[in-house]
Amino acid sequence: MSFKSFTDYLAWLYYQYLLITGIYVLEPWEKSIFNSILFSAIAMVIYTSYVFVPIHVRLALEFFSGIFGGQPESTMALMN
Amino acid sequence: MTESPATKPANGDVCQRVKNGLKPERNGLLKSLHRCHERQYKHQCHPEEEEVHAASHHDSLYSRPFVESFEETPMLVAVLTYMGYGILTIFGYLRDFLRHWKIERCHIAREKEEQKDFVPLYQDFENFYTRNLYMRIRDNWNRPICSVPGAKVDLMERASHDYNWTFEYTGRVVRDVINLGSYNYLGFAENFGPCADSAAEVTMKYGVGVASTRQEIGNLDRHEDMEKLVAKFLGVESAMAFGMGFATNSMNIPALTGKGCLILSDELNHASLVLGARLSGSTIRVFKHNNMQSLEKLLREAIVHGQPRTHRPWKKILIVVEGIYSMEGSIVRLPEVIALKKRYRAYLYLDEAHSIGALGPRGRGVVDYFGLDPRDVDVMMGTFTKSFGAAGGYIAGKRELIEYLRSHSHSAVYATSMSPPVVEQIITSMKCIMGEDGTTIGCDRVRQLAENTVYFRKRLREMGFIIYGNEDSPVVPMMLYMPAKIGAFGREMLKRDIGVVVVGFPATPIIESRARFCISAAHTKEMLDRALSVISEVGDLLQLKYSRHRIQPSMARPFDDNMYEDIDD
Ligand SMILES: Cc1ncc(COP(=O)(O)O)c(C=O)c1O
Give the pLDDT confidence of B192-207 residue by residue, as tens digits.
999 999 999 999 999 9
Within an 8 Å CB–CB cutoff, is residue B97 touching chain A? no
At residue B556, the pLDDT reads 43
What lines the ligand 1 site, CB under 6 Å?
B 244-246, 249, 270, 272, 322, 326, 351, 353-354, 383, 385, 393
Which residues on A lie below 8 Å from B482 (Cβ)? 19-20, 22
Within an 8 Å CB–CB cutoff, is residue B87 touching chain A? yes
Mean pLDDT for B358-363 is 91
At residue B43, the pLDDT reads 40
Cβ–Cβ below 8 Å for B488 and A16: no
Q: Which residue has the higher pLDDT, B43 or B105?
A: B105
Q: Give the pairing type, strands B498-499 and B501-503.
A: unpaired
Within an 8 Å CB–CB cutoff, is residue B163 touching chain A? yes
The string of pLDDT tens digits covering residues B246-256 is 999 999 999 99
CA–chain centroid gap for B312, Å, is 35
Q: Which residues contact B562 (CB under 8 A, 6 or more apart)?
A: none
Cβ–Cβ below 8 Å for A22 and B541: no
Mean pLDDT for B38-67 is 49
Distance (Å, rounded) from C-alpha B335 to C-alpha B30?
Answer: 9
Q: Is the pLDDT of residue B26 over 50?
A: no
Q: Is the pLDDT of residue B62 over 70?
A: yes
At residue B215, the pLDDT reads 87
Domain extent listing, chain B: 71-179+440-547, 194-434
CATH architecture of the domain with residue range B71-179+440-547: Alpha-Beta Complex (3.90)
Cβ–Cβ below 8 Å for A19 and B542: yes
Q: Is the pLDDT of residue B12 over 60?
A: no
C-beta atoms surrounding B494 within 10 Å: 18
Distance (Å, rounded) from C-alpha B350 to C-alpha B363?
Answer: 16
Rounded to 5 degrees, φ, ψ at B85 are -65, -35
CA–chain centroid gap for B358, Å, is 11
Q: Is the pLDDT of residue B231 over 50?
A: yes
pTM of the predicted structure, to 2 decimals: 0.82
Q: Which residues contact B317 (CB under 8 A, 6 or more apart)?
A: B261, B262, B263, B264, B299, B302, B303, B344, B345, B346, B347
Cβ–Cβ below 8 Å for B543 and A16: yes
Within an 8 Å CB–CB cutoff, is residue B501 touching chain A? no
What does the DSSP assignment read for B435-447?
Answer: TTTSSSHHHHHHH
The string of pLDDT tens digits covering residues B98-139 is 988 888 888 887 778 788 788 887 777 888 888 889 999 999
Average of per-residue pLDDT values in chain B? 84
Q: Give the pairing type, strands B347-351 and B317-322.
A: parallel
Largest CA distance in chain A: 71
At residue A77, the pLDDT reads 54
Which residues on A lie below 8 Å from B80 (Cβ)? 20
At residue B122, the pLDDT reads 77
At residue B106, the pLDDT reads 81
Mean pLDDT for B16-44 is 37
Closest CA to B62 of B30, B91, B28, B95: B30
Q: Measure in Å the smallest separation between the Cα of A25 and chain B Cα atoms.
A: 6
Q: Is the pLDDT of residue B383 over 90?
A: yes
Nearest beta carbon to residue A19 from set B88, B136, B485:
B485
Specify the DSSP class assigned to residue B389. S
Closest CA to B359 of B44, B57, B79: B44
B391 Cα nearest atom in ligand 1: 10
User: Least CA distance to B137: which residue of chain A?
Assistant: A25
User: Least CA distance to A11: which residue of chain B?
Assistant: B541
Q: Is the pLDDT of residue B323 over 60?
A: yes
Give the total residue count for chain B: 569
Mean pLDDT for B236-247 is 94
Within an 8 Å CB–CB cutoff, is residue B98 touching chain A? no
Helices (H), B344-463: 366-369, 399-408, 410-414, 420-434, 441-463
Query: Residue A25: which pLDDT band, with cuts at 50, 70 and 90?
Result: very high
Q: Which residues contact B94 (CB under 8 A, 6 or more apart)?
A: A30
Mean pLDDT for B329-351 is 94
Q: Are B237 and B248 in contact (CB under 8 A)?
A: no
Distance in Å, CA B142 to ligand 1 centroid: 18
Show which of residues 17-56 on chain A sit within 8 Å of chain B, judged by CB atoms. Answer: 18-27, 30, 34
Distance (Å, rounded) from C-alpha A44 to C-alpha A49?
Answer: 8
Q: Could you tell which of B246, B289, B322, B516 is best to mutate to test the pocket of ligand 1, judged by most ligand atoms within 8 Å of the CB?
A: B246
Within an 8 Å CB–CB cutoff, is residue A13 touching chain B? no
The string of pLDDT tens digits covering residues A26-37 is 999 999 999 999
Q: Could you tell which of B253, B265, B269, B272 is best to mutate to test the pocket of ligand 1, judged by most ligand atoms within 8 Å of the CB?
A: B272
At residue B230, the pLDDT reads 95
Q: Is the pLDDT of residue B46 over 50?
A: no
The string of pLDDT tens digits covering residues A4-17 is 889 999 999 999 99
Cβ–Cβ below 8 Å for B542 and A1: no
Distance (Å, rounded) from C-alpha B467 to C-alpha B546?
Answer: 10
Lowest-confidence region among B1-10, B280-289, B536-545 = B1-10
Angle between the N-to-C axes of helices B420-434 and B193-206, in degrees from 0 to 180, rounded to the nearest 10? 150
B270 Cα nearest atom in ligand 1: 1
Cβ–Cβ below 8 Å for B85 and A22: yes
C-beta atoms surrounding B103 within 10 Å: 9
Closest CA to B362 of B231, B450, B457, B473: B450
Distance (Å, rounded) from C-alpha B289 to C-alpha B296?
Answer: 13
Q: Measure in Å the smallest separation between the Cα of B88 and chain A Cα atoms.
A: 7
Rounded to 5 degrees, φ, ψ at B222 are -65, -35
Mean pLDDT for B283-307 is 94
- Enter the ipTM: 0.79
State whether residue B467 is helix, strand or coil. strand
Percent of residues, chain B, with pLDDT higher than 70: 86
Distance (Å, rounded) from C-alpha B222 to C-alpha B427?
Answer: 9
B/e letters for B158-176, b = 16+ CB within 10 Å, e = fewer, are beeeebbeebeeeeeebee
Q: Which residues contact A21 (CB under 8 A, 6 or more apart)?
A: A34, B83, B84, B87, B484
Nearest beta carbon to residue A22 from set B482, B542, B543:
B482
Chain A to chain B Cβ contacts (< 8 Å): 49
User: Least CA distance to A38: which residue of chain B?
Assistant: B87
B contact test, residue of A3, A24, A31, A37 with most B CBs within 10 A = A24
Q: Is B117 exposed, middle or buried (0-12, 13-18, 19+ CB in 10 A)?
A: exposed
Lowest-confidence region among B26-40, B206-220, B440-454 = B26-40
Distance in Å, CA B391 to ligand 1 centroid: 10
User: Least CA distance to B538: which residue of chain A?
Assistant: A1
Phi-psi domain of B366 (left: phi exceeds 0; alpha: psi -120 through 50; beta: other) = alpha
Query: Residue B377: which pLDDT band, with cuts at 50, 70 and 90?
Result: very high
Mean pLDDT for B157-180 is 92
Query: Residue B58: which pLDDT band, with cuts at 50, 70 and 90?
Result: low
The string of pLDDT tens digits covering residues A28-77 is 999 999 999 999 999 999 999 999 999 999 999 998 888 886 665 555 55
Q: Measure in Å the smallest separation between the Cα of A22 and chain B Cα atoms.
A: 5
Cβ–Cβ below 8 Å for A23 and B80: no
Mean pLDDT for B351-361 is 92
Q: Are B348 and B338 in contact (CB under 8 A)?
A: yes
Q: Which residues contact B323 (CB under 8 A, 6 or more apart)?
A: B331, B332, B334, B350, B351, B352, B353, B354, B355, B356, B359, B365, B366, B382
Q: Are B542 and B529 in contact (CB under 8 A)?
A: no
Distance in Å, CA B349 to ligand 1 centroid: 14
Nearest beta carbon to residue B484 from set A1, A19, A27:
A19
Percent of residues, chain A, with pLDDT higher than 90: 62
Nearest beta carbon to residue A21 from set B87, B94, B487:
B87
User: Least CA distance to A33: which residue of chain B?
Assistant: B91
Q: Is the pLDDT of residue B38 over 50?
A: no
Which residues on B lie below 8 Å from A34 (Cβ)? 87, 91
At residue A44, the pLDDT reads 95
Query: Residue B228: which pLDDT band, with cuts at 50, 70 and 90?
Result: very high
At residue B303, the pLDDT reads 94
CATH fold group of domain B194-434: Aspartate Aminotransferase; domain 2 (3.40.640)
Compute the CA torsion angle B215, B218, B224, B229 (nearest 10 deg): -110
